[in-house]
Amino acid sequence: MKNQLLKKFLELKKQYAEQNPAIENYFSNEQPTSTETQATTHKSAQEYLQNTSLKKKLDTLIGQIEAELNKAESDINYASFTDKMKHAQTILDELHEKTKSTWKKVTDSFFFQLLLVFLLKSFVFGWYCVPTGSAEPNLLVGDRILANKMAYWFSPVKRGDLVVFDNPEIKYSNNWAKYLWQRFFGLKLRFLGLPEGPDNFVKRVIGIPGDIIEGRVEDGHPVIYRNGQKLTESYVNTYPLIAVQKMNGFFPASNPVMSFFAKIRNSTALQAITVVSVAGLWYLINPVDIFPDLGLELTSIAVGCMAVATSHLMRYLEIRKSENCDGHPSFYSYDPEKSYADQPFYKLEAKEVVKNPFSGKPFFRKAGEPELGSNSDSFMQIRIPQGKYWCQGDSRRNSRDCRTWGMIDGSLIRGKASVIVYSINSEEVWWLFDILKNPLTFWSKRFRPERSFTILRNPLPAAEQI
């Protein structure tokens, strides 16, 4: 029995010895000085005295425990020993937490919050920026929406729901580790063989398992039949679409810095060299111990990987033309009775509108007409099997959806689009970019306050109303 108690005590002493350098460093560096303000000095002195008192208590308890263990086994007070061990462990944990460096506290707090955000985003609410106009006019480019990922835990997907799902055309890896990377992170790291994750789309559910869907063109207009009934869809976009070419980013791709990061991003060998070089340099210089618990070696490797990740983020700084999914200019809903500046959905500028070089007139698509040269609006009856869904964009002339891919698997659905949190008339990934580029007009022309905190409704087609 005494050997077991001794083993527990030695484990406590080992833990104390490992944490003692940080504790001693605190007492040598954190003592309040006369150069601090009176309020700061008082606060620091109080903390310093409290921590000093804790250390004295801990040292006293360790001495008492050690003295108890020096007794004969029959004389040891096991209840007292257990109580003192618990008290010493509590004080050691508290002292360790209080004497952490400021940087370590910030780091721990940051990664805890990062983990919390990751868990919430993965399993509770998803945060998405609408990149295209396929769901206009109900969702606009630049809307920031929350998707409720718990909506389908206890109830099935319903007709009329706006759902967020992964691109069904992407191929997931058969390797479970790579699959999880694609599913939850999605950043392409060539040197580690980690593939890119899917884009997310927002479409409306037209058919659920058991439904029979059919597409027809009647009187020059595409219509949908479900279970033999023609649907009257109030949510479908009726506005014409105007071709728009916006410029996003800050620096041209030819910029030496942007070109350098692009080469790293596109080369497996350069990514590996970057990781090794940055990790080695960080290991030698060690300016800041970012991940103290990982050790210097793993911290250096982590910093190297962060450098490669930065090369992917830098692509958002490159000047690039806005394009839709088929490489053509973006198409936005347009009210022909209003000027560019007074449009109800997007405040346009004349220089952004793409014009026919021969006629000088803008390019338009008529929302209620089928696409020329395409039979995507006309398709034979399709019975939807279990686990599959038929989804289409509300802006039918501006959407790639199940008419192109076929039915989507229910496992790809990530949640139900629920709330527009805020909205910005911009295609930039980060709205801060737009503030930097348009500091004077951002709040008056870019920000759309009327769309903020808007609940997304899911109206049923007329055939479904009772």
> What pLDDT score does 222 carry?
92
Residue 110 lies in a domain: no
Residues 268 and 255: their CA atoms lie apart, in Å, by 22
Kindly state the tokens that stand for 438: 């348009």
**Mean pLDDT, range 209-237, rounded to an integer:** 92
Domain housing 297: 256-317
Residue 298 has pLDDT above 60, yes or no: yes
**Do the domain assignments include residue 341?**
yes
The pLDDT score that the predictor gives to residue 466 is 42
List of residues 6+ apart from 46 with CB closer than 8 A: none
By the 8 A CB rule, do 181 and 194 touch? Answer: yes
Spell 46-76 as b/e; 16+ CB within 10 A means b.
eeeeebeebbeebeebbeebeebbeeeeeeb
Is this model's pTM higher than 0.85 or not? Answer: no
SS3 string of 370-417? CCCCCCCCCEEEEECCCCEEEEECCCHHHCCCHHHHCCEEHHHEEEEE
Contacts of 344 (CB under 8 A, 6+ apart): 335, 338
Of the listed ranges 192-196, 287-291, 292-296, 441-445, the one predicted with least confidence:
287-291
- 220 and 299 in one domain? no
CATH code for position 421: 2.10.109.10
Predicted confidence band at 203 (pLDDT cuts at 50, 70, 90)? very high
CA atoms within 13 A on the CB side of 67: 8
Q: Which helix (H) or strand (E) holds 111?
A: helix 102-123
Domain shared by 206 and 75, yes or no: no
Average of per-residue pLDDT across 309-326:
82
Number of domains in the chain: 3
**Same domain, residue pair 362 and 447:** yes
Last residue of a domain, one of 317, 348, 365: 317
Residue 106 included in any domain = no
Looking at 278, 297, 317, which one is the last position of a domain?
A: 317
Number of other CB atoms surrounding residue 412 within 10 Å: 18
Residue carrying structure tokens 């008529």:
366
pLDDT, tens only, 91-110 = 888 777 777 666 666 666 66
Mean pLDDT of 132-143: 92
Please state at what angle helix 256-266 crosses helix 268-285, rounded to 10 degrees: 110
Q: How many residues does the chain have?
A: 466
Question: Are both 260 and 222 inside the same structural domain?
Answer: no
Nearest C-alpha neighbor of 402 from the set 159, 141, 169: 169
- Specify if 109 maps to a domain: no
Q: Which of 150-154, 344-348, 372-376, 430-434 has the lowest mean pLDDT?
A: 372-376
Helix (H) and strand (E) counts in the chain: 10, 17
Residues 313 and 324 in one domain: no
